[in-house]
Homo-oligomer: A and B are copies of this chain.
Amino acid sequence: MTADLGDQVLTPLNFLERAEAIHADRTAMTYHSRSWSYGEFAVTARRMAGTLAGHGVTPGDRVAVLASNTPLMLLAHFAVPLAGGVLVTLNHRLAAPELAYIVQHSGASLVLFDNEFHSAAHSFGIRTLAVGEVLEAGGPEYARSVDDERSLISLNYTSGTTGRPKGVMYHHRGAYLQALAMIHHARLGLDTVYLWTLPMFHCNGWCFPWAITAAAGTQVCLDRPDPDTVWRHLRSGGITHFNAAPTVLTNLTQHREAANGPVGRTVEVGTGGAPPSPTLLSELTALGIHTTHLYGLTETFGPAVVNEPRPEWNSLGHTDLSRAMAVQGNSNIVGTGIRVLDTVGKTDDAPVVDVTADGTILGEIAVRGNTVMLGYYHGDAATEAARMGEWFKTGDLGVMHPDGSVEIRDRAKDIVISGGENIATVEVEHVLTSHPAVAEAAVIGIADPKWGEVPVAVVTLRPGAEVSIEELIAFTRTQLAGFKTPKHVYFRELPKSGTGKILKHRLRELISPEAPQALSAIVE
């Protein structure tokens, strides 16, 4: 009883306590035909915390979870911190050696798993607890209080598209504030019914497990976000919100169910992970799916940047609206700044300045705020490399528009440099996906003896569509400078990460050996 007046720790666990106290009868979670009220959900989470404590989890211990978007995964977002532990969500789509690396690196002493992942969980050589042993335990309730709001709540391993995955350290304070930001930007409330399409193993589902609990809405768990299932929920499940990467949304708009027209109520979707193409945004609008374009990284608790829908957009036509929505936007409501640093092509010891806000000059995007990670777990060198004082350098390249909004042009490592010119592959990809035959496109650089690199496109077509390589190249040439035009087009499936990101490094491995020695010689 010595705490100061008005001095309470910021932790998302506060939200569960409040929801239980005042919305005990509202539905917290559903899964298949079962549902849990907030009263039941909170008791289950505390019993689960009791089970963890009974199995030796003490403050600071890492607890891994191997599950899809099921009740186990959602409850773990509360139960693990209630036990004082640090949540380590595992991407179940990773290969065994990748999972083993993360478990070992995190130092997790215990893994909770859904039954389908039984053998993977048992391969780690650490203590295991199956979903039944955790959710149905019925033991004593347990809840530790959080003493330090900057203490760890979770580790989120990056997808590791280059090099080893890094363990991003999330703190209670950041998770709390990001949840409040998401509530504002997604307009979550008591009437929210949120469908779990975005993997919770990715940035703790952008902190939505905590945000929806704060708003006392309902979370609909889902084994797999396949288009059939998502469409079924959209048509008959009363869903008001979901989040998904653009590739998942593309699968929805190209599903046969899309031909049956709008969903019948406004569904709010946050999308990020890659810039959605203007074409995709138009198709979603036509389905009654209102999209907010978000941008962030694992290091920023998910969306650090929001393209806030402007009231004046109501009078825009489809094309202008999609164009307005295609930029990444601005700091979310709890962010304390975004910059585009003039570092491209500069030496490390050059003084760092911001690029001119002209929408043209390419620089590296940096963000600041309480929703930036503490650092990389056991990765001080990587942390120092990614920070500039209190600013986190994202590794993404973009421009600053005169209105203060940021637009991403490319990942720093994905940019193609051809004859000394920077080619933002995202720009080329958006032109390609605006072609009626193209479903998805990725542009990569291929080594070329004359230009250093030249861009090539890898494309998947819409069902039943046909187009020739020559036609597509000619189409892009009408809208882009010659050096940006793909020198070749490959038609093939695009390799993707568990979160739906196109894996360009994998694409380069696949395409480079197939490519002619000097594409430039062919097309010159």
Chain B contacts of A180 at CB under 8 A? 180, 184, 333-334
The answer to the question of A336 belonging to the interface, with a C-beta cut-off of 8 Å to chain B, is yes
**Contact between B17 and A389 (Cβ–Cβ < 8 Å)?**
no
* Bound: A214/B330 CA distance, A: 13
Q: How large is the interface on A (under 10, 10 to 19, 20 to 34, 35 or more residues)?
A: 35 or more
- A329 to B480 CA separation, bound complex (whole angstroms): 59
A171 and B4 alpha carbons, distance in the complex (Å): 12
A5 contacts B372, C-beta separation under 8 Å: yes
- A476 in the interface, Cβ–Cβ < 8 Å? no
**A7 proximal to B (CB < 8 A):** yes
B184-A22 in contact (CB<8A): no
B6 touches A372 (CB 8 A): yes
Residues of chain B within 8 A (CB-CB) of A404 are 21-24
Decide yes or no whether A190 CB sits under 8 A from chain B. yes
Question: What residues of chain B lie closer than 8 Å to A405, measured between beta carbons?
Answer: 22
- A13: nearest chain-B partner, CB-CB: B336
Bound-complex Cα distance A337 to B13 (A):
13
Take A21-B331, A22-B405 as given contacts and tell me if A374 and B190 are in contact as well, using a CB distance cutoff of 8 Å: no
Residues of B within 8 A of A370 (CB): 6-8, 10
Cβ 8 A contact of A331, one of B6, B22, B372: B22
- Find residues 1-41 in chain A having any chain B CB closer than 8 Å to their own CB: 1-8, 10, 14-15, 17-18, 21-25
Cross-chain contact B18 with A336 (CB below 8 angstroms): yes
> Taking CB as reference atom, which chain B residue is nearest A368?
B8
- The answer to whether B183 and A4 have CB atoms under 8 Å apart is no
A11 and B215 alpha carbons, distance in the complex (Å): 23
Structural contact, B21 and A390, CB atoms closer than 8 A? no
- Per-residue interface assignment for chain A, residues 181 to 197, with 1 indicating a CB less than 8 Å from any chain B CB and 0 otherwise: 00110010111000000
Give Cα distance in the complex from A198 to B17, angstroms: 32
A150 touches B (CB below 8 Å): yes
A10 to B216, CA, bound (A): 25
Tell me, in angstroms, the Cα distance from A372 to B383 when the chains sit together: 36
Instruction: Flag if B403 contacts A5 (CB, 8 Å).
Output: no
B residues within 8 A CB of A309?
Answer: 190
Q: Is the CB of A3 within 8 A of B389?
A: yes
In the complex, what distance in Å separates the CA atom of A3 from the CA atom of B214? 29
Query: Is A371 positioned at the interface, with any CB of B under 8 Å from its CB?
Result: yes
Q: Does A80 contact B (CB under 8 A)?
A: no
A402's closest neighbor in chain B, by CB? Answer: B24
Q: Which of B17, B184, B334 contacts A337 (CB 8 A)?
A: B17
Given A25-B403, A404-B21, A5:B392 Cβ within 8 A? yes
B373 touches A5 (CB 8 A): yes
By a CB distance below 8 angstroms, the chain B residues around A392 are: 5-6
Shortest Cβ distance from A214 into B: residue: B333
CB under 8 Å from chain B, chain A span 294-314: 308-311
In the complex, A336 Cα to B308 Cα: how many Å?
A: 30
Indicate with 1 or 0, residue by residue over A76-93, a CB within 8 angstroms of chain B CB atoms: 000000000000000000
Q: Tell whether, in the assembled complex, residue B18 and residue A333 are in contact, meaning their CB atoms are under 8 Å apart.
A: yes
The answer to whether B8 and A390 have CB atoms under 8 Å apart is yes
Bound together, the chains give a CA A2 to CA B384 distance in angstroms of 12
A187: shortest Cβ distance to chain B, in Å? 7
For residue A330, which residue of chain B has the nearest CB?
B22
Give the contacting residue for A150; candidates B7, B174, B330; CB below 8 A.
Answer: B7
Residues of B within 8 A of A372 (CB): 5-6
In the bound complex, residues from chain B placing their C-beta under 8 Å from that of A276 are none
Closest to A14 in B: B336
Of listed A21, A338, A404, residue having the most chain B CB within 10 A: A21
Known A180-B333, A190-B308; judge A369-B6 contact (CB<8 A).
yes
Q: How far is the CB of A21 from chain B (nearest CB, A)?
A: 5
Q: Which residues of B contact A7 (CB under 8 A)?
A: 150, 370, 390
* 30 cross-chain CB contacts under 8 A: A1-B388, A2-B389, A3-B389, A3-B390, A4-B374, A5-B373, A5-B374, A5-B375, A5-B390, A6-B174, A6-B371, A8-B336, A10-B370, A14-B336, A15-B333, A17-B337, A18-B337, A21-B331, A21-B337, A21-B404, A22-B329, A22-B331, A24-B404, A25-B403, A180-B184, A183-B184, A184-B184, A184-B215, A191-B311, A215-B333
Instruction: Taking A8-B368, A21-B330, A25-B403 as given, write out 16 further A-B residue pairs in contact, using a Cβ cutoff of 8 Å, ordered by the A residue number.
Output: A4-B390, A5-B383, A5-B392, A6-B171, A7-B150, A8-B390, A10-B370, A18-B330, A18-B336, A21-B337, A21-B338, A22-B405, A24-B403, A184-B184, A190-B309, A191-B311
Binding site for B on A (CB under 8 A): 1-8, 10, 14-15, 17-18, 21-25, 150, 171, 174, 180, 183-184, 187, 189-191, 214-216, 308-311, 329-331, 333-338, 368-375, 383, 387-390, 392, 403-405
